[in-house]
Structure 1
Amino acid sequence: MDRSRLADGLFAIVESTPDLDALPERLCGACLAALPVDGVGLSLMGGNYLAGRALLGASDSTGARLEELQFDLGEGPCASAFADGQPVLVPDLGDRDAKARWPMFVHEAETTRARALFAFPLQLGAISIGAMDCYRTQPGPLHEVTEALVVAEAVTLALLHAQAHGDGHGLADMAVGHHAAVHQATGMVSAQLEISIEEAFVRLRAYAYRHGRSLDEVGADVVARRLRFSDLPQ
């Protein structure tokens, strides 16, 4: 894989996408075309994002669902790849080791089309901004790990380039539409219970898991005032 040619191609996508809200999905499409996988998802991590992460974009609904599950549950290969700064390769999501390492995530991921998942950190030297998830609908190893690392590095460069030339439109702004209700609901729960933002988010996540719902659904109920945490048994 020609590293420079790939980077130039992704930079061209950045330059030809005036609406930066559409950029993540276009980058995911380019990743999908470059690698022998069935879908791609990108998440921002670290920084001031809620729970330390934010969905940036995905190539399809399955890719988005895998990112959302890791956001909802707080575990999964994506988070591990970012934390460890190295690829996390799961050739079979039904494998015993995967179930032991991410039990909640694997349980939910098995309801999707994904049967193998490969996560790569989005990093450039000491700069680390997130992770790229690549899934396959059939179990099996990914032999093109080196190529995937090149793609992840090129995506990192493209995103940093977009941020530097975005007229104040940063990476966080690209992800603002994802989980917007959860962000607002977290602040509302914090005010209702007079607790920190971090503790409020933990309460939201626990409620969603206990009731088998997504964080987005619970957040929407809080924002619409159909659910008040101050009315719940403490």
Structure 2
Amino acid sequence: MGVDRGRLADGLLAIVEDSSDLDVLPERLCRACLAALPVDGVGLSLMGGNHVGERALLGASDSTGVRLEELQFNLGEGPCASAFADGRPVLVPDLGDGDAKGRWPMFIHEAETTRARALFAFPLQIGAISMGAMDCYRTRPGPLHEVTEALVVAEAVTLALLHAQANGGGRGLADMAIGHHAAVHQATGMVSVQLDISIEEAFVRLRAYAYRHDRSLDEVGADVVARRLRFTDVPQ
């Protein structure tokens, strides 16, 4: 039996309307999605492109969901990023599959250290409006048969987030998402000044340094902001 589109949309919008704290809204939406779909966890990311300021974690239902979203933010690849770029679902019933490893080698290598064994990503979009992606993971490999239902859920989440954006009282969803990676955004600007390069290139340098030293972007960003790391001292 499929998900009732109207009831789910009403339920998600009710969460938005009843929430007095926008900081907990993404997690509540994730948990509502988790209750509606036969998956073990859900994550949401806002997206607008492929460089700093245009991708950020919005929320997740648990620590594994957070980890999967942050890996894709750190590495710049993964099913979530592909679903947004392609504007269609990206279904990975087995993260150990050779095709997945060939398409997202860095992400799959790291994702295999988590509890996730299957990952299904859906764009958050309505018509020409595209704002991010929803990741659903399972702790066991196998296909997701409820793709149509998941698309209904993703559309309802998009409606709920658009509603929150319109009623945020001056504080937008992008501000909430950027808060998860504040040091990275500040560090990108500092590296841009240090090396006299564009913001986009500075972000690529940060990402490459983090990957080369097996660290997260947030950790590297914090070191740059605290002036423990200067990219003028990093061999190029």
Bin the TM-score by the shorter chain.
over 0.9
Change (3 A) 1:161 1:49: farther
Percent of aligned positions that are identical: 87
Shift, 1:167, TM fit: 1.2
In the alignment, the residues of structure 1 paired with residue 30 and residue 179 of structure 2 have an alpha-carbon distance, to the nearest angstrom, of: 17
Q: CA deviation at 1:233?
A: 2.1
Structure 1 residue aligned with 2:226: 224
Match of 1:156 in 2: 158
The equivalent residue for 1:103 is: 105
| C-alpha deviation, 1:48, in angstroms | 9.4
**TM (normalized to structure 1)?**
0.97
Structure 2, unpaired ranges of 5+:
none
How far is the alpha carbon of 1:49 from its aligned partner? Answer: 6.9
1:82 matched to 2:105: no
Match of 1:25 among 17, 24, 27: 27
TM-score (norm 2): 0.97
CA contact (8 A) 1:51 1:201 kept: no
Match of 1:56 among 55, 58, 61: 58
Q: Secondary structure at the match of 1:130?
A: strand
| Greater Cα shift, 16-25 or 170-179 | 170-179
1:1-234 aligned at under 5 Å gives the runs 1-46=3-48, 50=52, 52-234=54-236
Shift of 1:176: 2.6
Q: Look up the equivalent residue of 1:233 and give its one-letter code.
A: P
Deviations 1:97-148 (A, max 9, x none): 0000000000000000000000000000111000000000000000110110
Q: Say whether the 8 Å CA contact 2:125–2:158 is kept in structure 1.
A: yes
For the 8 Å contact 2:50–2:76, the answer to whether it is kept is: no
Matched AA of 1:172? A
- Give CA deviations for 1:47-104 in whole Å, capped at 9, x if unaligned: 6972631110000110010000001111000011011111000000000000000000
Structure 2: distance between partners of 1:214 and 1:166: 30
Structure-2 separation of matches of 1:215 and 1:150 = 33
> Structure 1 pair 152/95, CA: closer, same or farther in 2 (3 Å)?
same
Amino acid at match of 1:22: V
Q: Return the letter of the residue paired with 1:141.
A: P
Separation in structure 2 between the aligned mates of residue 177 and residue 112 of structure 1, nearest angstrom: 24
1:18 positional shift:
1.2
Instruction: Encode CA deviations 1:125-177: one digit per residue, 9 max, x unaligned.
Output: 11100000000000000011011000000000000001111111211022132
- Matched positions, count: 234
Q: How far has the Cα of 1:208 moved from its partner? A: 0.4
One-letter amino acid matched to 1:112:
T
The structural deviation recorded for 1:14 is 0.2
What are structure 1's unaligned runs of at least 5 residues?
none
CA drift at 1:2: 1.0
CA–CA separation in structure 2 for the residues paired with 1:187 and 1:111: 32
Q: How far apart in 1 are the matches of 2:67 and 2:19?
A: 25
Runs of 4+ in 1 over 2 A off after TM superposition: none
Contact 1:70 1:79 in 2 (8 A): yes
